[in-house]
Structure formats: C-alpha cells, structure tokens
Structure 1
C-alpha cells in the first residue's frame, strides 16, 4: 500500500474543500494518507521523504512552495513524484498537464493508479549572488507590473475564479498601453540580441498569469526554455491581442521566441517576477538555465 502525503491549501480557489473528504477519497483508492495543511505550519517538510509521492491540493503558488521544499531535500538522481489536485485560480501548471479542474477530486484521484508519469524540468536563475527556481516563468516588464497592481487591489467582490482571471486580463490590457519599455541585452548560444522590450519572459510552460499563453510551443520535458520577447513597436498589436482574449474573440499573436538551455540577460530594469512573486533586485541582470527532469508528475 503506497504512502501519500497530502499537502492542502484550504484557502485556494473559490470553493470549500474539506480535509475529511479528501482523505476519504484517497484512502478509498487504497492509499495510506497523511494530511497536512500548509497554512498551519511547516511540519510537513520533515515528512516528505517518508512518502511514495506527494499530492498537492491547491493552486500554482502552493505547488511552488511544495516543490521548493522537495528540491531542497532531493539528493543525487532521486526523482520527486507529485500529483496535483487543482484548486487555485489560474492553475497554469494543471492546465499544462491537461488536468480538468471541473472534474471531481474523486475522479482525479481514481486516475493515479493507471496514470502515466511525465517528467518535468524546472528553470533556475542566478542574480546578485543568489539562486532561485521557477516552474512557470521568470521575466521583466508587463508581469512584474501586473503582480504589483493586483497585490494592491481587493478582489473579494469577485465571486468566481473566472471573474478574477477576467479582471486580471483587463488590468494587463491597461498596463500594456502605458508600460515603459526597457533596453535589454540577451546572450544565448554565443549570439547576442538586444532591443527595447515591453516584455521579456523565460517560459517553462505555455501560459502564465491569468492563463495567458505566451509560449504555445513550450514543453515541460524537452530540456529547453522559451524566451519570449515583445518589442516596444508591438505594443498596440499585443494590446489588441489581449483585448480580443478578454472579449472571447478569435486571435493570435506571432511571438518572437528564442529556445535554449541557458540565457544571460542584462538590463537596467530591476523589477522582475519569479512565477507569481514580484521581486526588485539590486542588479537587473539574470542568468537563467533549465534543470532537466527534476520532477515526475502523475497525469
């Protein structure tokens, strides 16, 4: 009988998910289950090595918190195995894995026994002598500004995740029209690119933020990252693209993308984001690379 550690964010998303219901559904499928609420304390970190795999019931932020702990205890070639029960707002990671948020968690749990495992690369970055990692993306420009903007707004009046995502897209549209473009120098594969960009994003998965697809060709297991660049002169075209998404109209955008294992970026822009977190760094330069096959995700 496999041992599962269930890591639950009871505040994620727009619905109530109860401890007893989750445990009952997991044990009904023949697993032993140890439950932790990640909101209460960090005792769960000491139990990660005892489980056959970890189950994260929450949103993208919850997944990141768990992966950070798993990466810290990972030794040698040991693979970290996880399953996701998407209960957040954007759920970009779950969407990448084609997990159906609308399916009951009983149905999702029932797929684990015959579900395949898919490897998952993560991105790592170095800046100012510090190191971090990302699951979705890291970058400059529009998304650091969007995160700052959304952090200052009370969205409690928005009743559903769909309303929250729509609201964030509308804020992004406004930001696109006014965001300052910065000059960047990008070193990749012994080549140098430079220009003024509204957005510069190293993507590990196709979508980011309010489910906005920036790197449609990105793969989670190919050993590469996709660096997406939106130039200053593309401001109006990209704003129109986002506006059409808001209005649920057919649209496409020809993203300028570089695919590589490593990037070095230099800029005077010190505002970045790492997944869903805003960060101001003393020096605007980043060294970004992929770390292959860190996770195994049960699909």
Structure 2
C-alpha cells in the first residue's frame, strides 16, 4: 500500500476501502470529517486531475442552477491524493420492492434532465466518438481494442460485434456532447434522510455523448438486471417529461448509439479482470450475452433500446 503523507492538521485516519485503482480513507480536519482518495499507482495521476476537474465543473453547475443533490467541496489535493468534504449517507437502493422506488426514479430523471438543460445553450461540441472530434481515433479504436482483447467469441457471433463497431463508426456524427458525470448511478449517490450527495467525479467530461448518463444508467440495468426494465423505462419517459430542451422522438438515434457503446463496453468489462479502467468484478453469463446481442441487433435496426429488452 502506498504511504499517504498528509499535513499535520489531519488526524484520525481510517481506511475505508482499497481496490485496484484507489485507497479511500476517512479522517478529521479542523474537527470535521473529510474524505481522502489516494491513487494506488503513479500512472493513475490523471485520475486525480480528472476528479478535480469534475468536482469544479459540477460545483459551477450547482452555483448556476438548483440541483437535487450536493457536490462535495475540495479541501486539499496533492499529486496522488484528493481530500473533499465528507458525504453522509448510504448508496441508493434502486429496487422496485423499496417504498422509495418511485421517488428514486423521479430523482434520477430530474437530475439528468437538469444537467442537460443547463448546458444546452453552451457551445455544441462534437462527442468524443464523432468523426468531428479529435478523439475519434482514440475513442473508437480503444473500444475496438478492448473488445477484441477478450474471449468474446464464445458468447457472441463475431459478425455481430464487427457490425456493431462498424455501425458506431458510421453513425457517430449524430452524437452531440454535453457535460456528463458518466458514473451517475445509485452506488454514487449517498442518501442521508432524503438529502443526497453525488460522489466520484473522475469520469466527468465535456465530450461524452449527450444522454450518456441516462443511457448508462438504464441500459446497464436492463441488461444486467432484467427485473429493473420497467422502472428504467419509466425513468426514460420521465426524463423527457422534465427536459424541455429535448424531444424523445428526435433523439432516438443518439440514445441508441450511447446504448450500443454501453453494450460493447459491458462485454469488455465482464470479460476482463478489474483494472485501472474499471472495478467490475462480475462475470459474463450466456443469458446476459444473449440480451446484449438482441439489443445490438435491434439498435442497428433503428428500434429504441428501451422498448426491446
């Protein structure tokens, strides 16, 4: 474990969690609890920079509009660590059996919509997967390389995966970009007596495809947890009820492309060990692979992914 060197005014250091990427602590500073995230390897220094950027971007957003969640404050940082205000609460339990399920659907739909609506007048940037973006080679080629590095052949028709990658390359110019958290999921929303805090900002970016947070949330759960399909479909329709800057019928292609990106990404995540790029420790089953295959076929046929699964 790398040694964490802090100024003398931090005390009561307590280890919370350690994984392939980070070591997380709770400590006290000026008699208040704080959260410390330390990278596990010097090659992950960019993660600290990314998280600082993400926190600052969302705090600026919170200054501009009223969000339904709090954003932690940056207290201090170094080359290998970041210290923020402590976030109270437990991760949201997104479960249809829970009495707050409807409220949770509403919270995510409204939060995603507010973020999109607040940034819709900003400069329209091409998404990282678009050929209008300088990131096109790195983004699509990286996704292609990651999928090809797995043993996906035992679960999928090789032609289908090739077709999906070709479809993404051919249609990526349809994607717009927006400020996106990119990991806005129940595990990263801490709820304390109804007061919510969004955490983990290291994936925040300006060139994620528009609607990526919405699609990342719903597509993943429809594929991995079919029992959440109805709730996720409701979330999508509520999102477009709250978002006055987008009409569902006009953005199906963008939603589908983000879902296709997620489908290909899930293949890599579930067929590779946890590493510097993901913490997923679940493994791919044939049933999950079949749902991904069905979704890819239907997406390339132009049918909404959320009406298929």
Q: TM-score, normalised by structure 2?
A: 0.26
Q: Which has the higher strand share?
A: 1
Greater relative contact order structure (CA < 8 Å, 6+ sep): 1
Q: Which has the higher helix share?
A: 2
